[in-house]
Chains A and B, each alone.
Chain A
Amino acid sequence: SQQGEEDPQALSIQEGENATMNCSYKTSINNLQWYRQNSGRGLVHLILIRSNEREKHSGRLRVTLDTSKKSSSLLITASRAADTASYFCANTNAGKSTFGDGTTLTVKP
């Protein structure tokens, strides 16, 4: 089955810095979604961007989508220690969502 890929696999930054995570996928998509997973918890939906959109904002989150490169990026601005979590992208195609491996973000206070 197809699988998205996030990079980097792990990212460590200081509080207040920006964090950028990238996601690549292999098929055409209907939409792409980003999720956060805190350690030992379920996934929380962050933001959805549709295939005809290029950029979307939600609070400190900014997501871009480049369908020609089959890639998306998630930018978290002014990071906080509470942003420490794993972040997953999920691309949706043919009625199925495929999750990537995730990026583990550590924000140091």
Chain B
Amino acid sequence: DTAVSQTPKYLVTQMGNDKSIKCEQNLGHDTMYWYKQDSKKFLKIMFSYNNKELIINETVPNRFSPKSPDKAHLNLHINSLELGDSAVYFCASSQDPPGLAGDEQYFGPGTRLTVT
């Protein structure tokens, strides 16, 4: 099936650990995103890559590091996890960056991260 997929779907870990979330899209899109959705459902952009180049880098702690090995993948690595990192993290992709003709975003199912 064509889709945006994320792994794992659930991640429970202790404070101080380092973890990664993987995202893959087989839609042939050039742009990928990471969003964080907090407990109040507010969705905030974290990073965006276009053709493996970082184009959006919001005010995010440098413990968060995205990596795009190719256009179809955008992984998120988080160092020294903190309680406040608990949230649902969504990956998304679009053909074009926001503001251009093909910028409708397609979202993955989310990764629920719980830091204890």
Residues of A within 8 A of B (CB): 1, 3, 30-31, 33, 35, 37, 40-45, 48, 86, 88, 90, 92-99, 101-102
Contacts and interface: CB of A to CB of B under 8 A. Distances in A.
Contact of A95 (B42, B44, B56, B59): B56
B90 A43 contact: yes
A2 B4 CA distance: 27
Closest 3 CB pairs of A and B: A42-B107, A30-B99, A99-B43
A95 B104 contact: no
B66 interface: no
Contacts of A33: 104-105
A97 B105 contact: yes
B8 interface: no
Interface residues on B, range: 20 to 34
A4 B50 CA distance: 24
Interface in B27-63: 35, 40-45, 48, 55-56, 58-59
A101 B45 contact: no
A45 B104 contact: yes
A98 B109 contact: no
Contact of B44 (A37, A99, A102): A99
Contact of A97 (B90, B98, B106, B110): B98
